[in-house]
Amino acid sequence: MTRTEEKLLTADDLLRLYSEGVRGELIRGALCETMPTGLTHGEIVMNLGGALRNFVRPRRLGRLVGSDSGMLLERDPDTVREPDIAFISAQKLPLNVRLSGYYEGAPDLVVEIVSPSDGSREVYHKARMWISFGVSLVWVVNPENRIIEVHRPNQPLLSLTENDILDGGEVLPGFSYSVRDVFDL
């Protein structure tokens, strides 16, 4: 069977596969399996996710989710991506609404942590993909060089080092966190 003859999967197929132990994302109907990313990656998720949770939750600003949640970005063919951390504002998804499947739409903030198997070009393109789907702020966290790249629509790329402060911009006004603390493992 050639690539054009392959059966494209749907978001529902992906949910079913997840229940069978298959983990991955859909990119225009094609399954891209994902693998565990390692301890450092997980610690960074907890550091930054904890800081975001401590800011978002008491203010009831919206929802924070991890990679297993999946974001349904387009249909026919379906694209479901898994950011390492995502924030969805309460304006987009009211706090009293419960979803059993994927969130359909773009979150407000996406955090992608560079994994050992990721290439820098691949991660850059993933960040730009999020922006193209309507994400307002993308943080690409690179544990190797301890830099966070800040991607925003129609703005130049900003690179933050350990001496800088990460801020929530217009997405999470008032949020700030030391880049050094992101990498404090």
pLDDT at 64 over 80: yes
The verdict on residue 153 lying in a domain is yes
* pLDDT value at residue 165: 98
Instruction: Print the domain residue range for 58.
Output: 37-182
The verdict on residue 4 lying in a domain is no
- Note the pTM of the prediction, 2 decimals: 0.91
* pLDDT value at residue 55: 98
C-alpha torsion sign, points 181, 56, 141, 174: negative
Which comes out higher in pLDDT, residue 162 or 34?
Answer: 162
The verdict on residue 105 lying in a domain is yes
Q: In this prediction, what percent of the chain has a pLDDT beyond 90?
A: 77
The verdict on residue 53 lying in a domain is yes
The verdict on residue 55 lying in a domain is yes
The count of domains in the chain is: 1
d(CA 70, CA 127): 15
- Decide: 140 and 148 in contact? Cβ < 8 Å: yes
* pLDDT value at residue 122: 86
d(CA 11, CA 18): 11
The verdict on residue 100 lying in a domain is yes
* pLDDT value at residue 5: 54
3-state secondary structure 92-123: CCCCCCCCCCCEECCCCEEEEECCCCCCHHHH
* pLDDT value at residue 74: 96
pLDDT at 2 over 70: no
Which comes out higher in pLDDT, residue 131 or 38?
Answer: 131
* pLDDT value at residue 1: 38
* pLDDT value at residue 19: 85
The verdict on residue 116 lying in a domain is yes
d(CA 31, CA 28): 9
pLDDT at 93 over 90: yes
Length of the chain: 185
The enclosing domain of 119 has a CATH number of 3.90.1570.10
* pLDDT value at residue 37: 80
pLDDT in tens, 158-180: 999 999 999 999 999 999 999 99
Neighbours of 113 (CB within 10 A): 26
